[in-house]
Amino acid sequence: MTVPTQRNTPPLIVRPTVDLRRRQLLRAGVGLAIPPWLPGCGGSSAPGVGMPAESGSLPQDCVAPATAAVPRGLHASFTGDPVSTRTLTWFTDGLEDPGTFVEYGPLWPDMSAQQIACAPFPARAGGQVQQTHGVDALTHAATMLALQPGLPVRYRVGAPGAWSEVRVLPAAPQGAFRFCHFGDHGRKDASLSVLDGVAALQPDFFIVAGDLSYANGDHPAWDDWFKRLDPYASRIPMLTAPGNHEEEDNGGKAYKSRISQPGLGFRYGFDYGNVYFLFSTGGSLVGGNLAQDADLVAELAWAERALARAAERRARGEIDFIVLVQHFTIWTDQEGREPANLSLVLLEEGKLLRYGVDLALVGHDHIYQRSVPMGRGRPREDGYIQVTGGAGGNSLRGFAPISDWSATDAIRYCFTEYLVDGPRLTAITWAVDRPDNSLAGGELTEIDRFEIQARDSVARRAFARPPEPDISAENAEKLLKHTRLRNALHHRGEP
């Protein structure tokens, strides 16, 4: 199918000087502290940090030996406090644990590349290990604790005789912060271009809203995806939500055995600064497995209580925004989809409207589309804004007629950057391709921008409501039946 180009007139290509300099540092592998004229992201008072050198330019006595036990597919996240902890996850070949450790320490502003790579680490922590689903490999995870505020952290993972290269993670911001979001990533050239764009902006973390590797049961494809991801996600924390293509890997087991995240890992919530994030499966893992079906019923009750608590805390001034992250869109104008995802309208949308969720960050549909504040398929002043970021690299699709709730639409490979600065959230969507969808070779084009202000005190109090009762067994079965059918139809509709 020939994919039509963007509907809107493309704006001027924007080349932010600071961001492109960061990109050059990433590609060059410079292991130096970035001087004050390259500030850290999100308004943090901590200095920014360049990327550690690649193995070819590290001092030879610091390069890990080439053994099967050397860590691969390294990626960072957090499973506890996002300010003072970081969790590292990686893989080793074979079923014998060579050791599961992280060694780490602060990166001081005057450290040289030699010191970054070779100086002794003041702290070491052990971790957990499990077999990686579907392959003869192990998944390792270890958490760095009590990180020093305002200082980046240098680290390596593995075990004596089989350490990874030294990497650097930025300090968690103190105040304003920045994150990025895209979904439907895959293993294409456009997928890497999206990662390059994210890395150029150096956010404090990034979100992948489902359909990560498109392995679809081909487990070595996960290894390929994490190999491509490693240079980025080992230096910028990553959080994810599962998608319907994760369900195709044995009900999500391949996904769950490769990712470390808060709570249960496949649905969870956390505060970052003044924002509460709720990551939901949106029913994406329902596919005929009774245990997975039961998880969805439990998740609905959990989400009800979590959003009620978040709305109450927002009314008290403890947070300013509530953000839902999941794979499936609730409403869409992608060609070939129904305008309403009726399962999610029944399962979730009432909760978003009841508790005043501000943003729904989703994927699934291989387009970019942003709504106005909406609810029940119509513009609604006190509703939520849905940002569909399913053009994260795997493929693009076209549009059906555009609904009146839609603020903007584009058929471009892209990701969205969000800057949260007190009660103001500014979002910019960056395309990594040209209007004809050919890749732009590192240039970023701004294709959308919007801003939202935190709800006023009257609205905050109005949304602070007690949780509704759990759904009945009869209604739960009706919803599950509809979700199973919805998921099956979506699988058949995938190319």
Residue 214 has a pLDDT of 94
Digit-coded pLDDT (tens) for 355-392: 999 999 999 999 999 999 999 999 999 999 999 999 99
Provide the pLDDT confidence category of residue 10 given band limits of 50, 70 and 90. very low
What does pLDDT average to over the chain?
Answer: 85
Contacts of 54 by beta carbon, 8 Å cutoff, 6+ apart: 29, 165
Contacts of 362 by beta carbon, 8 Å cutoff, 6+ apart: 183, 209, 282, 325, 326, 327, 328, 329, 330, 386, 387, 388, 389, 390
Q: Taking each helix axis from N to C terminus, what angle separates 189-201 and 219-233, rounded to the nearest 10 degrees?
A: 30
Residue 281 has a pLDDT of 92
Q: What is the DSSP letter of 38?
A: S
Greater pLDDT, 61 or 70? 70
Contacts of 74 by beta carbon, 8 Å cutoff, 6+ apart: 88, 89, 90, 157, 164, 167, 230, 233, 234
> Average pLDDT of 261-278?
96
Asked which of 95-104, 203-212, 281-290 is least confident by mean pLDDT, the reply is: 281-290
Find tokens 């910019």 and name the residue.
428
> Average pLDDT of 140-151?
95
The full set of domains in the chain, from first to last, is 63-171 (2.60.40.380), 177-493 (3.60.21.10)
Digit-coded pLDDT (tens) for 23-34: 333 333 333 332
Digit-coded pLDDT (tens) for 414-455: 999 999 999 999 999 999 999 999 999 999 999 999 999 999
Longest Cα separation, the chain: 65
- Measured in whole angstroms, the distance separating CA 199 from the mean position of its chain's CA atoms is 13
Q: How many of the other CB atoms lie within 10 Å of CB of 79?
A: 18
pTM of the predicted model, to two decimals? 0.86
Query: Can you read off the two tokens belonging to residue 19?
Result: 């961001």
Residue 463, classed as helix, strand or coil, is helix
Does residue 413 register a pLDDT over 60? yes
Greater pLDDT, 19 or 226? 226
Does residue 314 register a pLDDT over 90? yes
Q: Do residues 302 and 334 lie in contact, with contact meaning Cβ atoms separated by under 8 Å?
A: no
